[in-house]
Amino acid sequence: MPQLDLTKLKVLPLSQRRSLTTVDEVLKSPENPPAPLPATTQDTIDEAAARIIEARKNDRAVILMYGAHLLRNGASLTLAQMMRREWLTHLATNGAGTIHDWEYSWFGKSTESVEQNVAAGTFGSWEETGRYIHTALHAGAVEGLGYGESLGKFIAENGAKLPAQSELRSRITTNPDHPFAGAWADLLCAQSRGDLPEGRVELEHRWKQASILAQAYLHKIPLTVHPGIGYDIISNHPLFHGGVIGRTAATDFRKFCGSVENLDGGVVLSVGSAIMAPQVFEKSLSCVHNLRFQAGRPSVSGHTIYVVDLQDGGGWNWRHGEPPKTNPAYYLRFCKSFSRMGGEMQYLQCDNFTFIHSLWHALQRTTAP
């Protein structure tokens, strides 16, 4: 069966897109008073804050896994404060989380009408988004960086340096078995076709304060990205390269597993991520257990998992484990998967920004003198 030739896609400048949100509209100050919440929800958030503080006292991991809506709801400044205080030790998101992150940081706008633009054949086909995210990933991949660090560095440093073709040829010739040789070859091919340049790529990101990726890079907090091939709009671009996406995402998965290794007595926050978070977490935890058991070590224990989303959780109290198959709540994968991951799992029906904002205030109160 013939493959679609994506190099023939027509892409348009972002300036021609009707963007539905702007940085100024969505970005929220962490200093604003938190929204009022039901007493039971607030009690759980206060409990989460106390467990996070205890985990950090013991140098244990606190991992935030989030979906793109947390960014789009304006949580960047709040998360930056949490990273600055080292209340978070690892962040993880999906590919969509990076698309909006980069567009806000460079263009100051993001989001589009999926229905209208798919019908018009323009959904996601935006020149700058596909070009510069791929540029960042190629620049990072040749140095062994993951997806999140590559893009965070690109935003924070307003661009990246791509090695010259002569340098890449020399690297490949003298060290063809190097772990990064495939990345060198991918970039060389892209440059040889004229798709990517040599040398410094300068690109000012005027709104980098709105970028969770950049703030994580600047605060030296790992932020890993767990995309799917064909999930994200950078697939809708002539520069689409599954190899560089997969290579940098594979590095990030190994990094994420490294953080899960330090989760005993720690905390996991899954906020607005119904697919990526539970799927990636269960595989990473299994990898950690596999290696621990080979070394005669026990499984990860003493950790707490807080899952937050707008759905009602099926009316089930997830503190008591998963419901029977006859209960519709059994089929809420984002709850059920986490309930099987050991430790204690709790579900909160809450707006994702409201949760993070309230948690930040609770952490402030907990650590106040």
Per-residue DSSP letters for 270-296?
A: EES-SSHHHHHHHHHHHHHHHHHHHTT
Length of the chain: 369
- Does residue 301 lie within any of the structural domains? yes
- Does residue 58 lie within any of the structural domains? yes
**Single-letter amino acid code for the residue at 192:** S
The mean pLDDT value for 219-234 works out to 97
- Does residue 121 lie within any of the structural domains? yes
- Does residue 90 lie within any of the structural domains? yes
Q: Show Cβ contacts of residue 211 under 8 Å, excluding neighbours closer than 6 positions.
A: 76, 101, 102, 104, 105, 152, 155, 156, 205
Is residue 101 pLDDT above 80, yes or no? Answer: yes
- Give the model's pLDDT for residue 315: 86
Q: Show Cβ contacts of residue 364 under 8 Å, excluding neighbours closer than 6 positions.
A: none
The mean pLDDT value for 352-368 works out to 94
Is residue 67 pLDDT above 70, yes or no? Answer: yes
The mean pLDDT value for 174-201 works out to 97
Q: What is the DSSP letter of 123?
A: T
Higher pLDDT, 369 or 60: 60
Is residue 320 pLDDT above 90, yes or no? Answer: no
- Does residue 136 lie within any of the structural domains? yes
Domain that holds residue 241: 6-367
For residues 272 and 309, is the Cβ–Cβ distance under 8 A? yes
Q: Is 224 helix (H, G, I), strand (E, B) or coil?
A: strand
Q: What is the pLDDT of residues 107-133, one digit of tens each?
A: 999 999 999 999 999 999 999 999 999
- Give the model's pLDDT for residue 314: 87
As for how many domains the chain has, the answer is: 1
Angle between helices 76-84 and 352-367 (to 10 degrees): 30
Grade residue 369 by pLDDT with cuts at 50, 70 and 90.
low
- String of DSSP letters for 50-73: HHHHHHHHTT--EEEEE-HHHHHT
CATH number of residue 70's parent domain: 3.40.50.10690
- Does residue 244 lie within any of the structural domains? yes
Across the beta sheet with 304-309, the strand order is 223-225, 90-93, 62-66, 267-271, 304-309, 344-349
Is residue 367 pLDDT above 90, yes or no? Answer: no
Structure tokens belonging to residue 53: 């503080």
The mean pLDDT value for 65-82 works out to 96
Is residue 317 pLDDT above 80, yes or no? Answer: yes
Q: Is 349 helix (H, G, I), strand (E, B) or coil?
A: strand
Q: What pTM did the predictor assign?
A: 0.96
- String of DSSP letters for 125-183: -BHHHHHHHHHHHHHHHTTT--HHHHHHHHHHTTEEEEPPHHHHHHHHHH-TTSTTHHH
The fraction of the chain above a pLDDT of 70, given in percent, is 100
Residue whose C-alpha is closest to residue 262's, from 219, 293, 301, 223? 301
Beta strands in 293-361 (DSSP E): 304-309, 344-349
* Mean pLDDT for the chain overall: 96
Rounded CA gap, 285 and 302, in Å?
14
Rounded CA gap, 232 and 230, in Å?
6
- Does residue 299 lie within any of the structural domains? yes
H helix and E strand count, the chain: 15, 10
Is residue 263 pLDDT above 80, yes or no? Answer: yes
Rounded CA gap, 185 and 364, in Å?
49
Higher pLDDT, 2 or 98: 98
Rounded CA gap, 141 and 148, in Å?
11
Residue 268's Cα: distance from chain center in Å? 14
The mean pLDDT value for 257-279 works out to 97
- Give the model's pLDDT for residue 366: 86
Rounded CA gap, 128 and 51, in Å?
42
- Does residue 1 lie within any of the structural domains? no
Give the end-to-end CA distance of the chain in Å, rounded to a whole number.
67
Is residue 168 pLDDT above 80, yes or no? Answer: yes
Grade residue 313 by pLDDT with cuts at 50, 70 and 90.
confident
For residues 364 and 30, is the Cβ–Cβ distance under 8 A? no
- Give the model's pLDDT for residue 76: 97
Q: Residue with structure tokens 């400044």?
A: 77
